[in-house]
Homo-oligomer: A and B are copies of this chain.
């Protein structure tokens, strides 16, 4: 039985994480640290967790958290994470970080896209990116894992095998992503006020979304050469789910069956990637840790469609998957 703690308990990723951990026979949630005043019960923050976890939020120092837990799930926004994580690691605990702080290898790229200097730059590039389908070996022994972004996961799982196999051109890739609203977090604002975004669809952050460099970096790693991708996110009136449609050019005369077979072989042993023949809907993977992927050859384009639940495979499910790898539990534990 491993003792786990959560830092940042009021958001959706923490709620989903706790829900999943309640099913984990080898994980015990021992602490939730948060800046909320007055030690509120977790069920007063997340009514859906009533009857599942009897714990109050506490304001804890990183040292206190590290002393209590074998593993810490850090559900803080970027910037906040990297200011705590060195202390957590010094305290001897292992960490799965939900923020973007340790995903990028280059502190200058981080500074450019996140408008701030990285506070722990020497660790960048040494932290495995927590996508087990690509980095399982590195995740297992790591003290700290950078849990991937939701959009990047949907994009990378679709394109990495094709780039690695050299079946598509690394230049001029387009990733048109559509996400449910929970991806925008739990802080009320006009954009996500129900009567504004319900029954409405919009693009946002064109050319400026912070997942752009993350996608480019990971695809470049997969391709073994610089990949150029244009990422455009859209906000869809639904709670959960991301669907990413990518457009790229085939390298040589590759047919649809070869493309599909490449995906099928790449993910043959993967428990959570389903290469499907049909066009997947986000609902097929809703509330699950699955990512559904398919590919089409249309005219002179290769088109992939991939779906996942942004809060599960795109966040908290991936975190549990990483936890399982880090502590030697079967990878699917608590995730079926």
Give A contacts to B, CB under 8 Å: 12, 22-23, 47-48, 50-52, 172, 174, 176, 178, 180-182, 184, 186-190, 192-204, 206-207, 228, 230, 232, 234, 236-241, 243, 245, 247, 271-272, 274, 276, 278-288, 290, 292, 296, 298-301, 303, 305, 307, 336
Contact = CB atoms under 8 A, between A and B. Distances in A.
Contacts of A192: 188, 193-195
Contacts of A200: 238, 241, 281-283, 286
A181 B190 CA distance: 14
Contacts of A189: 188
Contacts of A48: 283-286, 288
A202 B282 contact: yes
What's the number of copies of this chain in the assembled complex?
Answer: 4
A95 to B, nearest CB: 26
Contact of A283 (B199, B228, B276, B292): B199
A106 to B, nearest CB: 18
Given A195-B12, A206-B303, A284-B47, A238 B201 contact: yes
A173 B180 CA distance: 26
A300 B286 CA distance: 35
Contacts of A292: 47, 50
5 contacts: A181-B195, A192-B194, A199-B239, A201-B282, A228-B299
B22 A201 contact: no
A200 B271 CA distance: 23
A287 B292 CA distance: 21
A276 B50 contact: yes
B195 A193 contact: no
Nearest to A229: B299
Contact of A206 (B241, B285, B296): B296
B50 A201 contact: no
A238 B241 contact: no
A276 to B, nearest CB: 7
A234 B241 contact: no
B301 A230 contact: yes
A51 B247 contact: no
Given A51-B271, A274-B50, A178 B178 contact: yes
> Which of A200, A276, A279 has the most B CB atoms < 10 Å from its CB?
A200
A305 to B, nearest CB: 5
A198 B174 contact: no
